[in-house]
Amino acid sequence: MATAEVYVCLPSDYDEGKHILSWALSYFSKDKAKIVATFIIDNLAPNHRQYNAFVNRWMDETLKKHLDQCAKQKFKVEKLFHGTGDLVEGILELIDLRVIRYLVIGVSPDSEVLERVKEKANPSCKIWFIQKGKLIYTRYPKSDLKEATSEKLQRMEKLHQREIEEIQKRENDKNDLLKRKNEQLQLENQLLRNQRNENLIQLEDLNKQKQLIQLQLEKHIHDLEIDYNKLKEERNNAIIEAQELRKQKEHPFPNSDVVLSSHFSLSELEQATQNFSDSLKIGEGGFGCVYKGSLRKTTVAIKKLNSESLQGLSEFQQEVAILNRVRHPNIVNLIGSCSEISTLVYEFLPNGSLEDQLACADNSSSLTWQARIRIISEICLGLVFLHSNKPHLVIHGDLKPDNILLDANFISKVSDFGISKIIKQSDTNTTALYRTTHLAGTFAYIDPEFLSTGELTAKSDVYSFGIIVLRLLTGKRALNIAKEVQEGMRAGRLSSIVDKSAGKWPFDLAEKLAILGLRCADISRRGRPNMSQVWAMIEPLVNATSLSSFGSSTFNEEHVPSHFICPIMQEIMKNPCIAADGFTYEAEAIKAWLNRGRNTSPMTNLVLSHHDLIPNHVLRSAIQEWLDQHPQS
């Protein structure tokens, strides 16, 4: 169909004709056909007077656009006008007249043109019927198939044997090329699919990383919020603590029975310690150093604060506040202080600390089991006094053998109140506690609930006391001692874990001490007794050893304990009272001393800050108990 002519019947309406012509140009674009733009003018014969006028007008308005359309797509074009009285008759006449082989004609949906032309047109003409720019029917000529087959056979007969091979080779080459292209396309498609899968995997990994980063970011933000709230709480607590320290410094105790210690000048302390000579140094810690000195003809211990220790300053102020308040035979006696260099002056206790005795420092002999029971009772009485003090109870907060000192008669005294807390007792049953985020104390002795909650209560001292009891019983180190004693008791081998250097322990006493220590060192605060309940358990043990709770480690049943004796009268006291110097006297004797116009201490020669006397009920009970057990002849 390389040189075929295609007749395209166009209507007078340009828009309708445009779609018909567009379809023809598209369909025959590869066949290099010649387009014959045909316009059949029905109801007008060629000799009609209006025929030429109509043709001219159609040429000007419509045909030019159709010709331009063909020219743009590089089609050869010819125009043809045919006048007739009837459209279908005109088409049929034109097919016969021009021997048309290919015809494109537009039909409307309700037109009878298709049926009439299909039936009556010359059978040799192939006709395409177009409706709204789309092919709706093709009428094929009856001779197409036969003629095409005959023509192909004739061409094949004319070709040489070599030409057929060349054609076949070209066909094979073409097929090979197509096959290679197809394989290439398949390979490229496979590569694209692989790349797509890799991209999907990478995208999935990126999404997982994004989710992980998001989770990490959320956790980081959450942690920052927790840290912020924690820091905010610590700041608020620090402010509260600073305010409390300021109030305590100004008014440490609101009630009127405060006993104030003496004030010493820097020059007095330098003279007492030979200008703080290293030869007189008897102790050293994070707070500073302790020196032995002679002050106003009295041997004393002088604790000098390290000037660079900010924490030590607050502990210095706290210890002054507490020891100015409390006086008890089993609490170290604060004689005075020096604010110029933050120095505290205590009574001198020559036998060091309980830790020194347990370690047998300086080759000292081991404490007997009787002495250990007595020391336990003395520590207990000191804590009972602190916890029952009104209206402000005192929580020690760092109870351990290092902070239990022993005097010349091995009487134990609780010391080092730097991190202790003064808490106002409530009128209700609410547990008095101190809440802080600044945890302090010695790990092996510190209350586990205080570590987890930051709440310091009197039961925190009970826990530390329980560990000390177990140490005195076994002589073992404090860490994990409760677990070790508990396992030993369960296995029935308590006798194998008690400290045999203390002598032969009575089994029932050792067992009761072990049970007491474990109860006090219970992990849960609720499982521990208070110190008054502890004393109710300890007192029978003391009686069982025939020892006074205030007897010495070398006690003789016929010998009266020295602290039962009034320093003035040198007789057993009946009504002991604590004076402003911290020493206990018979009430009648110290009153007579004061009534004679004396304003200095009978023991230290220092000026008494006041003349108030505090009844020492605990010592009075101990004296009466001793007298009941040792009737005088």
User: Residues 460, 463, 468, 471: is their CA dihedral positive or negative?
Assistant: negative
C-alpha angle 553-409-414 in degrees, rounded to nearest 5: 95
DSSP state for residue 454 in the 8-state scheme: -
The phi, psi pair for 18, rounded to 5°, reads -60, -40
Phi, psi (rounded to 5 degrees) for 164: -65, -40
Distance CA 628, CA 238 (A): 52
Residues 398, 407, 416, 461: which is the catalytic one? 398
Longest dimension (CA), the chain: 177
- Bridge partners of 600, per DSSP, are 607
Number of neighbouring beta carbons within 10 Å of residue 241 = 16
Rounded to an integer, what distance in angstroms lies between the CA atom of residue 112 and that of residue 117?
9
CA distances (Å), 299 to each of 111, 185, 273, 291, 554, in order? 139, 107, 11, 11, 23
CA distance 278 to 91: 138
Q: What CA dihedral angle connects 96, 99, 101 and 105, to 10 degrees?
A: -50
* List of residues 6+ apart from 532 with CB closer than 8 A: 384, 387, 388
- Exposed, middle or buried by CB within 10 Å (0-12, 13-18, 19+), for 297? exposed
Question: Could you confirm whether 398 is annotated as catalytic?
Answer: yes
Residue numbers annotated as active site: 398
